[in-house]
Structure 1
Amino acid sequence: MPSGLQKKLKKLPASKSKNIAYCFNYFTIHQHSPITMAKIKKKGQAGAAKNFITRTQAVRKLQISLPDFRRLCIFKGIYPREPRNLKKASKSASHSTTFYYTKDIRYLLHEPLLAKFRDQKALSKKIAKSLGRNEVQDAARLEKTQKPKIKLDHIVRERYPTFVDALRDLDDALALLFLFANLPSTSTVPPRVIARCQRLCHEFEHYVITSHSLRKSFLSIKGIYYQVTIQGQDIMWVVPYRFVQQASAEVDYRIMSTFVEFYCTLLGFVNYRLYTTIGLVYPPKFDTTSDDRGAELAAFTLQGRSNGKEIANDSDQKQLTNGHTEDNSAALQAQIELAAAAQEAAPTEEESIADEPQETAETDAIDKFEVVAPQGDVLAQPSLSGNQAASLFANLTVYISREAPRHSIEFLLRAFGCKRVGWDAVLGDGAFTQDETDPRITHQIVDRPAFADPLPAQHNGATTNAEQLQKVKPGYIMPGRIYVQPQWVWDCVNEGELQRTDTYAPGATLPPHLSPWVKPTKGQYDPRATLEEQEAEGEADDDSEVEAEDEEVEEQVAAELEGAANSEEDSEVDAGDMDVAASDNEADSGGEEDGYNDLDGFEGFEDEAEDIDDEEALHQRELAAEAAGLAINAKKLNPEQERKEKAKKERQSKQTKEDEEIERRKMMMSNKKRKLFEKMQFGNEKKDAEAAALRKKRRKLERSQ
C-alpha cells in the first residue's frame, strides 16, 4: 500500500480505515482474475416444471389419442402424479389438474404398442372411407383381415421380473376377474369377455383344489373372501354373490375392460406356471357341452406330465371324478388293483414301516404355541398344512340342497378333501349323485326352517331312474343323516377342524361368524370366548350388585306409584261418604274430643319418632362398643356376601395402589411423554369401556335365557 494512502487512512476513524484497506488489498490481489457471474436459469427448464408433464402434453408427445393413452398407461402401470407445488409444475397460466412424470412418458416413447395403436387408427380411417362409399363388404373384410392383434406378453414380463412379484399382485386381478365372471352380458361387457374370465377363474380354482392351498374364507356383505397360500405368498380376493346383477350407467366399463384385458394375460401366465409346477398340462381340457349344462368345475379334465412330455393316454388323465360315478369306475378299479399288487410285491417294506405311523403322524402335525405365563404374549398360531387341509372333509359325502350356494360350497369342500359332492339336478351337471335319498350321503347342507317329520318311507340303495329321484319333499328328513346350515362349512374351514353339528342344525341360532383375519386382543371383547375367560376380576359381582340396586329402585318407584294410585282411590271414596260422616258427628255428644282421637295423622308422626329413637339408640350402642373395644353387632351377612365384600375391598385397595404407582411414574416423565401416555391411557380406557358394555349386554342375555 502506498505511504500517502497509509497517512490518509490514519486520519480517518478506525472502522472506515479498515474497510478501505481491505478493499484495496482485495482488488490488488484479484486485479488479473476475471469476475465470473452465475448463469440465469430460464423458466420451465429445471425443477418441478421439468420433472412433471401435463396429460395434454404427453398425448401430443406420443402422438396418440386420449383413449389409447389411457390404455397404454394402464398396461404399463403408469399413473398420474401430484406435484408438491402446482404453480411451479404448470407451464401455463391455467393450472392443469393431471400430471405425469416426464421420465415415464419418455419411457413410453419406445413402446411397441404405439405402432399397433397407429395401425389401428389408420385402419379405422380406411373402414370409415369404405363405409362412406357404401362399400360394406370391403369394410368388413378390412376389419377381419387387417385388424392388428395386441399382445401383452412382453408387458407382463417387464412388470413382473420374477414369479413371486406376479403372485404378490394377483389379489386385484382375481377380484376383478371374478367380478366380471358373474356380470351379465351387455353391450359394454361382451359375452366372450365373461366366458374368458370364467374359464381362467375355474382353472385357478382347479389348481387350488389340487394343491390344497386354500386356507380361510369369510362371508361378508360385499361377497365371499378367500385366502390361499401359494409359494409362501398369501393371496386374498373377494367373489360377489350370485344375485341378479344390473349394469349401472355410472360405471365406466371401458377403463375396467382395459384392466380385465391385462389381468387375463397375467392370470394366464400364472396358471401356466402353477400347473407346470405340480406336473399338470396347461390349459386343461374343456368340455363346452358339459359347461353349457352348468357343470362349471366338472367341465375341466386335468392331464398330467411325464418327464416334461404330455401324457396322451386316457388312463393317465386326471378327471374331476366327484366320487364313484359310472364313467370312471373302471379307472378307479384299475388304480385299486395296481395298489394291491404293489403292496403284495413289497411285504418287507410294510413290516419295516409298521412301527412308524405314530411318529410320522406326530411329526406331520403343526405345533401350537400355548401361553405358559398368565400375562405372557399370545403368539400367532401357524396355519393348516396341505395334508391337514386335504383330510378335513375327506370322509364325508355331502349333498347340497337347491337353496344353498352350490359353487362356493363345492369349491370349499373339494379344496379340503371332499371327493363326493352331490346336488339337485336343477343346479347343473357333474354331481356325485342327484338322488337326495341316496343312503351314502352323510351330511346335507340346507338353508330352510326346522324340519317337522322324518321321511315315512326310506329309499333302499342308489338308483339312476329319473322317476325315482327327488322323493324327499320339503319338511321331511332322511333318518341317519346330519343336516347343517351352510355356515358350518365356513366355520370348519376357518377353525381347521370339524365343528359340532347340533349348533348348526336347521332353524337353530347360529354362532357368530367372525372374520378369521381379526385376532382377538387381550382385554377386548371376544364373542367366541366365554364370559369367565375374558371378564375382569369381580366384574360379574359388581354388575350383579348394580342390577340388584336398580331392581330395588324400580320396586320402590313401583310401590310409590301404586300407593299414590290407592290414595287417590281412597280420597274419592272419602269424598263420597262425607255427608254421612258429618251427620254422624253432629249426633255424637263428645264429637270434638272423639274426633281428635280418631285422626290418623298423628300415627305417622309417632312412627317417625320411634324410628329416630331407634337410630339414636343404635348410634349410642356403636359408640359405647367402640370405646370399650368390643365388636359392633351390626347386621349379619351371609358367607357369600361377606366374600364379595372382602374381594371388593381387596380390588379397591389394589386399584388404589396401581393408580398411585402410575401417578408416581408420570411425575418422572417429561411433559411430552406424559401427554402421550395420557392419550394412550384414554384410548385404552375407551376400548375397555366398550368391551365392558358388550360383556354386560351378553350377561343380561344369558341371564334372561
Structure 2
Amino acid sequence: MGRIKKKGEAGNAKNFITRTKAVKKLQISLPDFRKLCIWKGIFPREPRSRKRVSKSATSSTTFYYTKDIQYLLHEPLLRKFREQKVLEKKISRALGRGDVTDASRLERNAAQPEKTGKPRYTLDHVIRERYPTFVDALRDLDDCLSMLFLFANLPSTTTVPAKMIARCERLCFEFQHYIIVSRSLRKSFLSIKGIYYQANIQGEDVLWLVPYKFNQRVVGDIDFRIMGTFVEFYMTLLGFVNFRLYSSVGLRYPPKFDKAKDDEAAELGAFKLEGNNALAASSQAPAQVTGGADAETGPDPQTQAQVNKLIRQMREADVEGDEAEVEAGEEETAVDAIDKFEPVAPGGDVLPQPSYSGEETESLFANFTFYLSRETPRQPLEFILRAFGCKRIGWDAVLGGGAYTTDERDPSITHQIVDRPVIQAASQKEDGGDEGETSQQLASNQRMPGRIYVQPQWIWDSINDGELKRPDLYAPGAQLPPHLSPFVQNTQGAYDPTMPLEQQQPEGEGLEDSDEELGEGEEADDSLAVKRIEGAAEGMDLARSDDEEGGDGDNGSFGGFSDDDNAAGEDDADESEDEALAAELQYQRELEAELTGKPVKRDTASPQSKAKVEARKRLAKQAKEEAEELERAKGMLSKKKRKLFEQMQYSNNKKSAEDQKLRAKRRKLEKQKTRAKA
C-alpha cells in the first residue's frame, strides 16, 4: 500500500509560497526582503490555480517559488540585515532605559553610509552571480544607464542623498569618457522625454535615455526607496563595467578627479585619463589619453635619430614605387569594390549595405573647431562632438570651465552652434560701452566672416546619417528639416516625412481639403451646393429601384445582358440621379428666394470646382466597385480564413488612418506656408 498524500504537502501547494511565509522563513523585515529580491533577481510568480496553491488565497496574495526562497537562505546579506536589526533593537532598548550614553556609543559603532561613507555591505558577489560573463552585463546595461543618468540630474532630498547623486554623476561621466575614447557612439535622438543615445560596445548595442538639464520637481507619490534599491545595485554594476571597459582600452581606472575643475562646472573636463604602462604603447586612442610620468620625459635622442633615418629611407622607396602604384590603381579599384545587395522585386526589403570601415564616420568632426553659444545645451553637444573626433570645443564662460577657448572672436573657430532667433535690426554698441556679465563679445545678430553658423539639430542629423549635412538647411532662423528617430525603420507604404507629399498620398486624398482652398462668394456657394448634393445622395435613394438593390445573378448580369451593357446602364442611372439631385437643389433655391424676396441664385460653378466634383464621383464609384469585389472575394474564403483576413484588414486600416492624419496635417502646414509667402 502506497503512502497516503496529505493535502498541502505536494504539487502546487509545495511549489509556491506566500510572501508572508517567505518573510517569516528568512527572519527579516519586509523592506529588506524587497531589497534582497531585487538584487538577486527574484520576482513574484502567478500560479495557474490559486485554489490548489492555498485555500485562503485572494487576488492580493503574492506568491514566490519555494526554491527561490530556499536559495535565499544561503545569502550572506542575510547576516548583515540581521546584525543591523539587532543593533537597532539595542539602541531602542537603551533609549527606553534612558541610557543616552550607551545609545550614542552603539550608534557610533554602527555603519552609517550617509555620514562615514563606508557601506554596510557590498554587492560584488551578487554582480558575479547574476552576470557570469561580461556580455551578459553589457546586455543589461540599458536600464542601468537610464536610471543612473536620471538620478544624476535629481536634486538632493531626504530620500535621495547628495552622495548618491554625486556617485551616479561620477559613474556616468566615467562611462562617457570611455565612449569618447573608444568612439563607440553611433546614433542619438532628441525626444520629448530626453536624449536617446546608442553605442556599440564590443559588438553589443546599448541604448539609454538622458533627461534634459532642467530643474526637476520631486513629487511625493514616487517610492524612492524602491528606486534607490535599484540604483544601489546599478551603481555597483556600472563600476564593474567601467573597470572592464577602461582596462580593455589601456586606461587606468578610476581616472583622476580634479575637484577644482569640478567646482568650475567642467564636468567631463574634471577627469584626467591615464594609460597603463603595459598597454600605453598599444593603445588605439592616444589623442584622448594623458600620459603619466612617461609623457613628461622626451624620447631617447639616439633612438629618435634611427627612427628619422628609417623614415627617410621609406620615403625614397615610396617615390620610386609611385609610378607602379598609379598603373595598378585602376585594377585595385575594380577589385576592392564592395558588392551591393539590391532587392530583386520593386518595393522589397532593403538589405543593409556593407561598408569598408567606420573610421570616417567616427572622425566626422575631427577637422573642425566648434564654439557653443550660451543658449545651447553644452553637455550633450560636448559629449557628441568629442565622441565623433572633435578635440577643440569652446563655449561661453557662463557655461562652465574646461573650454578650448572662451573668446568668441577666435579665428580658429570653424563652426558656431547658435539657437537664438535672427534679429533683423539691432543697435550696435560702441567700443567704449559697458561690459556685460558674460564674456560674449559679439551682438546677438553679429556674424564673424568665414565661419559657419548652424543650429544644434545639424549635429544630430549629421551623426545619424553618417555624413555632414548641408549647413544652409540648418542656418539660424531657417525652417529645420524633420528630426526623425534613427531607431525606427520605415515600412513600405507608411508615411515618410522625407518624401514629397505627392509621391505617397493616394489619388484623390487631397480633395477633402478642396473646400478650404475655395474663396468667398460664388465659389463658396458652389462648394455648399456640392455638399448639399452629397448629403442628398446619402440621405435619399430616389433613383434606385428594387431590382438594383438585390440582384439574382451571380455575375452581376440580368436578363442575358453582358457586363458592358450593365455598366452603361449604371452610368445612365448615375447621370439621371445627378440630374434629379440638381433639379431638387434648384427647386430648393427657388423656395428660399421666394421666402426671402431675393433673386434666385444661378449655378455659376467654376471649371475647377466641377472637375473636383467629377473626380469625387469617379473615386466614389471606384471605391464602391473595389468594395464589392472584395466582398465577393471574401465569400470564397472559409470562416477561419475570413476572420483572419478581417483582422489583417482592421490593422491595415488603422495604420492607414494614422498615416492619413499625418498627411492631412502636413497638407495643412504646407498651405499655411504658401499663404504666408503670398
Indicate the TM-score class for this superposition, using the shorter chain for normalisation: 0.7 to 0.9
Cα separation, 2, equivalents of 1:472 and 1:202: 32
Cα separation, 2, equivalents of 1:554 and 1:316: 69
* 1:99-147 deviations in Å (ceiling 9; x for gaps): 1110000001111111222222233334445554121652353125998
Cα separation, 1, equivalents of 2:65 and 2:462: 50
Classify 1:310/1:101 alpha carbon distance in 2 versus 1 (closer, same or farther; 3 Å). Answer: farther
Cα separation, 1, equivalents of 2:527 and 2:626: 39
Three-state SS of the structure 2 residue aligned to 1:698 is helix
Q: Displacement, 1:288?
A: 1.5
Q: Amino acid of the residue matched to residue 50 of structure 1?
A: K
Cα separation, 2, equivalents of 1:363 and 1:422: 44
Classify 1:697/1:138 alpha carbon distance in 2 versus 1 (closer, same or farther; 3 Å). Answer: closer
Cα RMSD (Å) of the superposition? 4.7
Cα separation, 1, equivalents of 2:245 and 2:512: 57
Three-state SS of the structure 1 residue aligned to 2:228 is helix
Q: Say whether 1:263 aligns with 2:231.
A: no
Q: 1:114 aligns with which of 78, 91, 112?
A: 78
* 1:25-54 deviations in Å (ceiling 9; x for gaps): xxxxxxxxxxx5x64421211222111111
* 1:433-467 deviations in Å (ceiling 9; x for gaps): 111111211211122111436997999xxxxx999
Correspondences of 1:332-411 after superposition (within 5 Å): 343-344=311-312, 346-347=314-315, 350-351=318-319, 369-371=341-343, 373-380=345-352, 386-411=358-383
* 1:291-315 deviations in Å (ceiling 9; x for gaps): 111111111122223436899xxx9
Cα separation, 1, equivalents of 2:226 and 2:514: 63
Matched residue, 1:449? 421
* 1:271-303 deviations in Å (ceiling 9; x for gaps): 111111122221112112111111111111222
* 1:617-666 deviations in Å (ceiling 9; x for gaps): xxxxxxxxxxxxxxxxxxxx99xx99xx99x99x9999999878866754
Three-state SS of the structure 1 residue aligned to 2:9 is coil
Q: 2:642 aligns with which of 671, 674, 681?
A: 674
Q: Displacement, 1:548?
A: 8.2
Q: Say whether 1:216 aligns with 2:187.
A: yes
Matched residue, 1:284? 255
Contact 1:453 1:477 in 2 (8 A): no
Cα separation, 1, equivalents of 2:228 and 2:386: 31
TM-score of the superposition, structure 1-length normalised?
Answer: 0.71
Which moves more between the two structures, 351-360 or 672-681?
Answer: 351-360
Q: 1:418 aligns with which of 390, 396, 405?
A: 390
Contact 2:421 2:477 in 1 (8 A): yes
Classify 1:422/1:345 alpha carbon distance in 2 versus 1 (closer, same or farther; 3 Å). Answer: farther
Contact 2:87 2:106 in 1 (8 A): no
Contact 2:145 2:172 in 1 (8 A): yes
Matched residue, 1:515? 485
* 1:591-611 deviations in Å (ceiling 9; x for gaps): xxxxxxxxxx9xx9xx99xxx
Classify 1:102/1:338 alpha carbon distance in 2 versus 1 (closer, same or farther; 3 Å). Answer: farther
Correspondences of 1:574-653 after superposition (within 5 Å): none
Correspondences of 1:510-589 after superposition (within 5 Å): 510-536=480-506, 538-539=507-508, 554-556=524-526
Matched residue, 1:138? 105
Classify 1:184/1:124 alpha carbon distance in 2 versus 1 (closer, same or farther; 3 Å). Answer: same
Q: Displacement, 1:478?
A: 2.2
Q: 1:683 aligns with which of 633, 636, 651?
A: 651
Correspondences of 1:492-511 after superposition (within 5 Å): 492-511=462-481
Cα separation, 1, equivalents of 2:188 and 2:39: 31
Q: 2:452 aligns with which of 471, 475, 482?
A: 482
Cα separation, 1, equivalents of 2:391 and 2:280: 28
Cα separation, 1, equivalents of 2:356 and 2:456: 21
Correspondences of 1:5-404 after superposition (within 5 Å): 36=1, 39-90=3-54, 92=56, 97-128=61-92, 132-135=98-101, 138-143=105-110, 149-307=120-278, 318-319=289-290, 343-344=311-312, 346-347=314-315, 350-351=318-319, 369-371=341-343, 373-380=345-352, 386-404=358-376
Three-state SS of the structure 1 residue aligned to 2:250 is coil
Q: Displacement, 1:390?
A: 1.8
Contact 1:272 1:282 in 2 (8 A): yes
Classify 1:403/1:385 alpha carbon distance in 2 versus 1 (closer, same or farther; 3 Å). Answer: farther
Cα separation, 2, equivalents of 1:365 and 1:194: 51
Contact 1:402 1:427 in 2 (8 A): yes
Which structure's CA Rg is the greater one?
Answer: 1
Q: Say whether 1:695 aligns with 2:660.
A: no
Cα separation, 2, equivalents of 1:467 and 1:220: 33
Matched residues, number? 583
Q: Give % identity.
A: 56
Contact 1:214 1:227 in 2 (8 A): yes
Cα separation, 1, equivalents of 2:346 and 2:425: 50
Structure 1 unmatched ranges of 5 or more: 1-35, 321-327, 460-464, 573-600, 609-636
Which moves more between the two structures, 685-694 or 476-485?
Answer: 685-694
Classify 1:340/1:404 alpha carbon distance in 2 versus 1 (closer, same or farther; 3 Å). Answer: farther
TM-score of the superposition, structure 2-length normalised?
Answer: 0.74
Q: Amino acid of the residue matched to residue 406 of structure 1?
A: R
Classify 1:468/1:157 alpha carbon distance in 2 versus 1 (closer, same or farther; 3 Å). Answer: closer
